[in-house]
Structure 1
Amino acid sequence: MSTLVELNDICVHFDQRKVLDNVSLRLNRGEITTLIGPNGAGKSTLVKVLLGLQRQFSGQVTKTKGLKIGYVPQKLKLNDSLPLNVDRFLQLAGKYSRQEINDALKLVGAEHLAHSNMHSLSGGETQRVLLSRALLQRPDLLVLDEPAQGVDVQGQIDLYDLIDTIRHRFNCAVFMVSHDLHLVMAKTDDVVCLHHHICCSGAPADIAQHPSYIALFGHNHQQSLAFYHHQHDHHHHDLAGQPVTGEATDCSHHSHGHHHD
């Protein structure tokens, strides 16, 4: 299995306060890893360390040589008074050809939005456009910070399906931050539960039963997980409209050698 990024014993302090405490994890090509944890748990700080935006830390970050990272931020800050359509927004991402921009929009099912105003997109449409921007450079690692915020439930399901499809198509690693697990569950290989340190990590079904997870998120999450899996198996379709069966809930075939208790 090819490891693209390895974090070892990452510690970050802000004003004597430990935000990250000996965090270690591995991101492997072709795998989706979801980072969960309550607000203020250090999730965004960990993303910044991973992206090289947080310089003050102890520990070690090892990245594969020439690693290309595509990043989908949590919030897009645009100047409301400037007219900006999707096509122009993507042109600002770098020197990409018309064909490359069209292909990126097509990949995320957003080619019809090319001439739409960025300011008038829905939450789900904005996420697709941001995803297409991240895909322009054909990343080895795709990092998404709370991609489902401001997106309705069906939109979230579609978004996670899309991310899953992209992972297979590009054989990239995906590192996704979420404060809520039940919708992500069906599509993720590995879950890392963070509360300044790693409370637990492993396959989604195992994490849902883990005492640390239950202590942080409560039992109601387990009920919604069961409900989601039930719903998911009943009406699930992939991007081409084909029903997806079986693999949505079967996470048991992945082996994980890096559990932290």
Structure 2
Amino acid sequence: MTNPLISAAGITIAYPNGLTALKDFTLDVAQGEFVGIVGPSGCGKTTFLDAVAGLMPVAGGRLTYKGKPISGINTGEVGYLFQKDSLMPWRTAAQNVYAALELRKVPQAEWRQRAQDILQKVGLGRFTDKYPAQLSGGMRRRVQLAVLLAFDPPVILMDEPFGALDAQTRTIIEDDFLRLWEQNRKTVLFVTHDLEEAICLCDKVVILTAHPGTRKQVLEVPLQRPRTIDEAKFDPEFPQTLKTLSTSLRAEVGRTLAL
């Protein structure tokens, strides 16, 4: 790949206690690519996202963003959607969005309209004045997407962002995110344990080995874009893609259980 946006060249990452999380991991990510990352529990998936965000130092190898080593928090370039709810509970949906707009140095006079427009995009135009405790889990996740849209980073890191939602809500929000992603084609690194989700959303899926994690395989997703979740699952390429991904991952899960 010529001039990747994010490049990990044989990186090793260790926790403060000395335990190695990732070992000799290599991956290039192009601008605008939607990349899924799957692997057994404890193989370093989230650790890799943390390193790209600048939250975790690299002990060996080279990790770069736009050709430069990542050193410290990747301020302004990376948005991170964590597994857990990261909204400020004392702020309304609109006020949570205001925080991102302030970080982006948007004039305060524009905050109200910008927040309204963004919340409308994620289907929350009637809930701008509601606090997180007044919203369902799916609605709170939509507010977090709105905050990301307001912050408007070139790179979006997503760590099992929809895992806690019920199946129906999850599909709706995945479709909404795909629709929004098609509008701007941000670079996305997406960690998930759901193989169907990885295939439906991503351009390619990176499979990590059992701990310590390293790259086992990169599977290109052969489904056409644009697509919805239902369209993806009924694509004739979907079953074989799922079988290939599942077979490869199952071997690593087996290794984890045998440790």
* TM-score under structure 1 length normalisation: 0.73
Alignment match, 1:223: none
Separation (CA, whole Å) in 2 of partners of 1:181 and 1:62: 28
- Matches for 1:82-231 after TM superposition, within 5 Å: 83-95=90-102, 96=106, 97-195=111-209, 196-204=213-221, 206=241, 208-209=243-244, 211-216=247-252
Residue 77 of structure 1 deviates from its aligned partner by 4.8
CA distance in structure 1 between the aligned counterparts of 2:154 and 2:91, rounded to whole angstroms: 29
| Cα distance in structure 1, aligned partners of 2:192 and 2:162 | 8
Which 10-residue stretch deviates more, 95-104 or 123-132? 95-104
Are the structure 2 counterparts of residues 167 and 30 from structure 1 closer, same or farther at C-alpha, using a change threshold of 3 Å? farther
Letter in 1 for 2:20: K
1:186 to 1:2, Cα distance in 2 relative to 1, 3 A: farther
Q: 1:70 — aligned with what?
A: 79
Q: SS state of the match for residue 184, structure 1?
A: helix
Aligned partner of residue 92 in structure 1, secondary structure: helix
- My pick for the range that moved more, 60-69 or 45-54, is 60-69
Cα drift, residue 2 of structure 1: 6.7
Question: Gapped runs of 5+ residues in structure 2?
Answer: 68-74, 222-239, 255-259
The alignment's C-alpha RMSD in Å is: 2.5
Contact 1:156-1:183 within 8 A present in 2 as well: no
Residue 13 (structure 1) aligned with residue 14 (structure 2): yes
The residue type paired with residue 76 of structure 1 is D
CA distance in 2, matches of 1:166, 1:3: 23
Cα distance between partner residues in 1 of 2:101 and 2:200 = 34
CA contact (8 A) 2:10 2:26 kept: yes
**Contact persistence 1:35–1:43 (CA under 8 A):** yes
- Kindly state the Cα deviation for residue 19 of structure 1 after the two structures are TM-superposed: 0.8
Task: Write the distance in 1 (CA, Å) between the matches of 2:66 and 2:113.
Answer: 29
Cα contact 1:33–1:191 (8 A) shared by 2: yes
Using the TM superposition, give the Cα deviation of residue 56 of structure 1 relative to its aligned residue in structure 2, in angstroms.
4.4
% identical aligned pairs: 25
Contact 2:9 2:61 in 1 (8 A): yes
Q: Distance in 1 between matches of 2:3 and 2:180?
A: 18
- 1:144 partner amino acid: M
Per-residue deviation, 1:207:
6.7
- Runs of 5+ in structure 1 lacking a partner? 219-261
Identify the range of structure 1 (60-69 vs 10-19) with the bigger mean alpha-carbon deviation: 60-69
User: What secondary structure sits across from 1:34 in the alignment?
Assistant: strand
How far off its partner does 1:93 sit? Answer: 2.8
Aligned partners of 1:184 and 1:110: how far apart in 2?
Answer: 26
